[in-house]
Amino acid sequence: MFTVQDAIEHLLFVTDSVPSEAHLGRLRSCVSNAMRAIATAKSKWRYFQVRRSFDLEPAVTTTGTFDPSDLSLTVSDTLPSWAERANVVIAGQRGHFPVASVETTTSLKLSYGPKVTSPIVLATVRLYQAEYVLPADTVSVSAVYRTIAGVDNGYVRLLAPQEWHRYLLLAPDYSENTVVCTVAGSPRYLERLSFLVAGPVSAPGGRIEYLASRTLLPAQVVFDGFQTRCRQGTVAITENSVVGNGTAFTPDMVGCVFRLGNKNPPTGMAGSNPPISERIITSVTDSQHLSLDSPVAPLVGTSCYTISAPIDIAEYMVEAFTRYLEFQVWAILNPQRVRQAAELAHEALRRAKAADAAYPLPTTDERAVYPVVHVVHVGS
């Protein structure tokens, strides 16, 4: 997989330079700007599809009392940790009622509730987690399905947000073994998408799997394989479990590419010390323990490593991306070479578009994309 480390190593090779801290900062800026340029070259290239999933929390069943005067609900058992993101289902009452706030460990307030005029005692109350916040780089979701014990369970309906809210008002009080969901802006986290679910599920809740379109986050260029925390210490690996010595693993490394070397930190695949193995980080327990997406062949002793953020562009886009990298670096280091770099980037982008079956090859220069520093202009 092409990574930020590969991009920076390419720039070091092109400029015949060494990775000093100041120079690496300039090169990371070039990578970030090239990512923005490619994103504006064609709308669909801005987003890269990845398969993701999350576990559904089983519903909680309890008893309680509802007071319509202030929409308060008091239950007999301690509320779950996700109660503020829950919906409430009351036996005998049509509709699923969103939680507005959690008051105490056993009481909460609803956004709206059953149409009653006096407090009522509830024999059966079910709470289920209704909001699952998606990763920050998610821009859209498609191909949603539910699995239980690894088997496709189906029974998932993906609705538009307006239809989902209408369903909440009219949904029956029993479970149809159907997860009704939508994807909308999170009411609790600014500029984040949430997966909103309607329908309590029994244990085991199962897993929602979906295809997400993600945007390239320039902030990810900090994982460049060169910074101290991306290569410090050594590691020992047993199957897909990594134990570090002197390492500084952090949770934001999840999703990055983990490359394993011998006595020295590995380079990219085209470098002088290519990695023995390359895997994706799936979880980070603490600064010295993380997990990989698949097992690694047994190694003797400890090994060096690098961690770098992926730039998961299609294979036919790699050349165009590297040409944009060169254009950005020459704009900083040698402006006399900018025009030639722009022509090479233009030609590489033309070939990439030709390789994309969904894109017709431009017939005139007026439809092509011309790069300038930090910006890509599109001819009218």
CB contact set of 343 (below 8 Å; sequence gap of 6+) = none
292 vs 253: CA distance, rounded Å: 11
pLDDT band at 361 (very low <50, low <70, confident <90, very high): very low
pLDDT at 72 over 90: yes
What secondary structure does DSSP assign to 61-115, as a single string?
EEEEEEETTTTEEEESSPPPTTGGGEEEEETT--S-EEEEEE-SSSEEEESS--S
Query: Which segment of 53-57, 181-185, 241-245, 361-365 scores lowest on mean pLDDT?
Result: 361-365
pLDDT band at 216 (very low <50, low <70, confident <90, very high): low
Strand order in the sheet with 241-245: 234-238, 241-245, 289-292, 277-286, 257-260, 305-308
pLDDT at 175 over 70: no
pLDDT band at 120 (very low <50, low <70, confident <90, very high): very high
Query: Which segment of 216-225, 321-330, 346-355 scores lowest on mean pLDDT?
Result: 216-225
Structure tokens at 25: 């900062």
Structure tokens at 348: 């590489």
pLDDT of amino acid 212: 82
Residue scoring higher pLDDT (356 or 195): 195
293 vs 333: CA distance, rounded Å: 39
pLDDT at 376 over 60: no
pLDDT at 344 over 90: yes
Strand order in the sheet with 138-148: 47-55, 207-215, 138-148, 151-152
Query: Which segment of 57-71, 83-97, 129-143, 257-271 scores lowest on mean pLDDT?
Result: 129-143
pLDDT band at 48 (very low <50, low <70, confident <90, very high): low
Contact 40, 376 (CB under 8 A): yes
DSSP state of 201: -
pLDDT band at 64 (very low <50, low <70, confident <90, very high): very high
Query: b/e for 363-374, b at 16 or more Cβ within 10 A?
Result: eeeeebbebeee
pLDDT at 219 over 70: no
When the pLDDT of each residue in the chain is averaged and rounded to a whole number, the result is 83
pLDDT of amino acid 380: 34
pLDDT of amino acid 218: 62
Query: b/e for 20-35, b at 16 or more Cβ within 10 A?
Result: eeebbebbbbbbbbbb
CB contact set of 193 (below 8 Å; sequence gap of 6+) = 133, 134, 138, 139, 141, 183, 184, 185, 186
pLDDT at 170 over 90: no
Mark out the alpha helices in the chain (DSSP H runs). 4-15, 21-41, 161-170, 318-333, 338-355
pLDDT at 369 over 70: no
pLDDT of amino acid 206: 78
pLDDT band at 157 (very low <50, low <70, confident <90, very high): confident
pLDDT tens-digit map of 94-111? 888 999 999 999 999 999
pLDDT of amino acid 144: 84
pLDDT at 46 over 60: yes
pLDDT at 366 over 60: no
pLDDT at 371 over 60: no
pLDDT of amino acid 35: 83
pLDDT band at 155 (very low <50, low <70, confident <90, very high): low
pLDDT of amino acid 150: 61
